[in-house]
Structure 1
Amino acid sequence: MEFVEELRWRGMLQDIMPGTEEQLNKGVTAGYIGFDPTGDSLHVGHLTQIMTLIHFQRAGHKPVALVGGATGMIGDPSFKSAERNLLDEETLRYNVSCLEGQLRKFLNFEEGSSVRNGAVMVNNYDWFKDFKFLDFIRDVGKLITVNYMMAKDSVKKRIEGENGLSFTEFSYQLIQGYDFYYLWKHKGCMVQMGGSDQWGNIVTGAEFIRRQDGGAAYGLTTQLIKKTDGTKFGKTESGAVWLDAKKTSPYKYYQFWLNASDEDAKNWIKIFTLKTKEEIDQIIEEHDATPHLRIVQKALAQDITIRTHSEEAYQTAIKTSDFLFGGGSLDFLVDLSDAEVLDVFDGVPQFVIKKGDLHSGINILDLLAVHSGVFNSKGEARKMIQGGGVAINKQKVNNIDQQFTGTDLINGKYLIAQKGKKNYFLIIAQ
């Protein structure tokens, strides 16, 4: 399927310049998307652009991923209410290296005679680091008028807003425009792509190419992804959902997609997976027949978790979900590091006890009501144990005289207390 048509049926396409489809139909075309390294990880908000590059490459074209070491120093003002904090060069270099590693997980960067469309990674700091300010404003600034730049909606909103717009951010449009020109001239990039908020910058770049060299360049944008309930896509109560497993664990990442509403999941499975239209139609049909099984959400979560992390990470996420919300075993915890165990129980009440106290054994009532705060009193603990509502390490406690020692610790460190069916508590022996 042709690239633009692929974006259309998936509900991704927003704007497209005249002539773009004709250019792509001529043969292998290089096109780029920029990612500013404002942090050391991409998040799910970047996935739309990553998927755009993946579809671009799968359609036979050559994707260029630009990591903006230079533009990251400025900050894109597009539809933002305030100026970003400017990062130092050392932080930006570190962020760039992290983003490059993440992008390589999604795109094929192989080069050679048999691979005509291997992805390319570039950093605009490479061509800006020696660009003198006077040369820039003379050679680049003269080509685009202030009137042209101020006509962009993203700029007008900032100028009319409370915080205004600094010259630093105002210059971003010229810098990104020069990026397009540089890649057009030196890498043969005919197309720039991005989110809908980048339309003004993309048009400026194409205009720069026309005015500077009389050349033709093209562009398209993808739709802004929204949630049907009006909340921002990619945000949770705890913040952004990151692609870095250290920032957002594979389990939480999996849960983010699994918890999508039916309507969101039906839209997102088109955007964030590589499944065909026929496969997606079948999944949605099966889902609608048995919506309580959440078939669309599970298919979406499985696909994107494996591609972002790994099959192993997906399996751990499944086992974690089964453990916390079903009758799953806790055996999988043995293979996890301390950090991963703590992540599984993030948000679960945690108590620390002295490992030495376990040498001679701790009575269950003391464990739950004295050494920890699972229960407010021994009486409360006794009553619930006698009612069959207490388990330690998934084993129901029936005897109020039961003792626990160091041999009961998972990974030599943890006891998992359960009060009722879904109330978990992590007891950490130190």
Structure 2
Amino acid sequence: MDATPDYITDFTAFLQASPSSYHAAAEVARRLDAAGFTRLSESDNWIDAAERCYVVRDGAVIAWSQPANAGPTTPFRILGAHTDSPGFKLKPKPTIGAHGWLQAGVEVYGGPLQNSWLDRELELAGRLVTRDGVEHLVRTGPFLRIPQLAVHLDREVNNGLTLDKQRHLTPVFGVGDAAEADLLAHLASLAGLRAADVAGYDILTADTNPPATFGLGQELFAGGRLDNLTSVYAGLRALILTSEHTTGPISVLAAFDHEELDSQSRSGASGPLLDDILTRIGAGLGASVSERLQAYAESWCLSADAGHAVHPNYPERHDPANAPILGGGPLLKINANQRYATDAHGAALWARTCAQANVEYQEFVSNNTVPCGSTIGPLTATRLGIRVVDVGVPLLSMHSARELCHVNDPQALSAATAAFFVPEA
């Protein structure tokens, strides 16, 4: 399957509009508005809600499209993804410094590949909340850098780099006296506010180098936050494409926040968000508790998160018989210990879905000596009892400030998601 330039071009624009989970949620909302979806507030009554709607909770978005013939037992087809990525988050008292340098106090967010963040022009992006509770998105553009120590001052650095999270990962943003500088005031001014107006903030770092295609035939694609905006964008595009369907299941895009922190939040997959929304959709269709559980029994969730392609320089870290490659199609992720939620029925569903979409796919399983991470898949299966299949786009350099995929694989995931939302009878 060849990737159309339109897909990569538009995905690039989506990435550049989404330096934080809050910006990603806002960009998803903007695109849903343009496609005719209706934004709902969780504090409103949804009984007379439209058939194509969405809700934003902090850095998460749940959007859905229900066919005209939907009823109390109509099942759901859910694409689950996440909007956050590893990096660094601004601490309270953000302006620090020493030895004539101005620095930003940051805390490690999730599990970034720390050395990849060195010597890059970074920006700060996220939300400011004023004392009246109003949220303001803000981003600085190129603003920060975590400078590495020169090799002349550490002759052994190429034999092994060790970074102290507190001392060595503090970015610089200028020179001067930290007592006379005010980073929060700068952020507030970008939002047209005063520092005194800001009562709280969630501000994170992002790489400012733009996404790019490169290599032989321009078939490689690199950018920040591919984990997991590849899945968010694929699901969004598929939902909009199939939103006019008149029969079949209710299609849902569930883009959670805080997956990189094990999803333990009100907007994460371990929280009540998805169950709350599905319950309210069912109530709008007149579903009793029993009918809602009937719908769940026939429902499916694709847990779409990035996975590992075989690394040519470290092949021993991969299973020798299951070594997916970039450009080979999206992954079906399998783990005997349920770190991924795929089972035999899920594998069969994914095979049917990819055949319907005319998409090739690859299986991924970890080397027995290299335990894999996990996803929102097992969490969703545990919370709701809905069957889950773990899938995703293969990457190199996962959790780097700048990750790598093949230009064809994100579009293939989106095509398979569209088929999953509207399965053939």
- TM (normalized to structure 1)? 0.24
Larger Rg belongs to: 1
More helix by share: 1
- RCO higher in 1 or 2 (8 Å CA, sep ≥ 6)? 2
